[in-house]
Amino acid sequence: MGFTKYTSQAEKVRVRMNEGIRAREVRVIGPEGQNIGVMPTADAILKAREAGLDLIEISPNAVPPVAKITDYGKFKYEQKKKEKDVKSKAHVTETKVTQVKIGTSERDMHIKASKAAAWLREGHRAKVDLFLWGRYKYMDFEFLKGRLERFLAIIPESYRIAEDIQKSPKGLSVIIERLPASQTRQAGNPSAAKNTAQTTKKNTAQKTEPALPAELKGEDV
């Protein structure tokens, strides 16, 4: 059976087997994981075929290389399983983005807040953009900041400010991240750590929402 194969198209991990093994001798591992010992590669291939199996090189850099007598299909399955386990343990932190406007409805605000909370629970950061257009870009900064803090106050998850509220090309933005587990267990109260961040949900919620400027009342903003 076959010569040089790949265990994964994505990884392109080269696996030599049977006549594809270049070393003259190999250390042979049996089907049950037992150490059979060092022998000529040709003899090891013959031994594998007598068992209806393949000889697969598993440690090409060892001296001599290590090869295992096993079924190639089973070997390939085990390799894919290992890759899957590694990927599941390797978490990549991303910065997810959600956008709100001054006139975003309460219902939509809560939907977006729940989505941001889900990102935080997954270990990601959440960037919240307050989208401004036209003259809204030139409104009072404190008013706009208050509208953004209004959204932060309803996120149903403990968090801390990673990057404070600041002007951005789209308007205003802020980046939050989940509090470390050690901080969310203060005094046996999972929510106590909300008050340890630079800006917390509690602090934000206590602020009175700025009133909409008179010239904008009645407009869809």
- What the chain holds in terms of domains, given with CATH numbers, is 4-73 (3.10.20.80), 95-211 (3.30.110.10)
Q: How far apart are CA 221 and CA 182, in angstroms?
A: 41
Would you place residue 45 in the very low, low, confident or very high pLDDT band (cuts 50, 70, 90)?
very high
Highest averaged pLDDT of the listed ranges 32-41, 88-97, 179-188, 205-214: 32-41
**169-215 tens-digit pLDDT:** 889 999 999 987 766 544 334 343 344 444 444 444 444 445 555 44
What rounded mean pLDDT belongs to the chain?
81
Rounded CA gap, 173 and 99, in Å? 9
Report pLDDT for 83: 84
- Interval 44-72 mean pLDDT: 95
Strands 125-131 and 95-100: parallel
According to the model, what pLDDT value does residue 84 have? Answer: 80
**pLDDT of 95 strictly over 60:** yes
pLDDT class for 14, splitting at 50, 70, 90?
A: confident
Going by their DSSP bridges, the two strands 35-40 and 14-16 should be labelled as unpaired
Contact criterion met (CB below 8 Å) for 131 and 167:
no
- Give the C-alpha separation, 108 to 106, whole Å: 6
In terms of Cα–Cα distance, which of 63, 64, 36 is closest to 50? 36
Task: Provide the pLDDT confidence category of residue 85 given band limits of 50, 70 and 90.
Answer: confident
| Exposed e or buried b per residue across 179-195, where buried means at least 16 C-beta atoms within 10 angstroms of its C-beta | beeebbeeeeeeeebbe
Long-range contacts of 55-60 (CB under 8 A, 24+ apart): 55/17, 55/18, 55/21, 55/26, 55/28, 56/15, 56/16, 56/17, 57/15, 57/16, 57/17, 57/20, 57/21, 57/23, 57/26, 58/29, 60/16
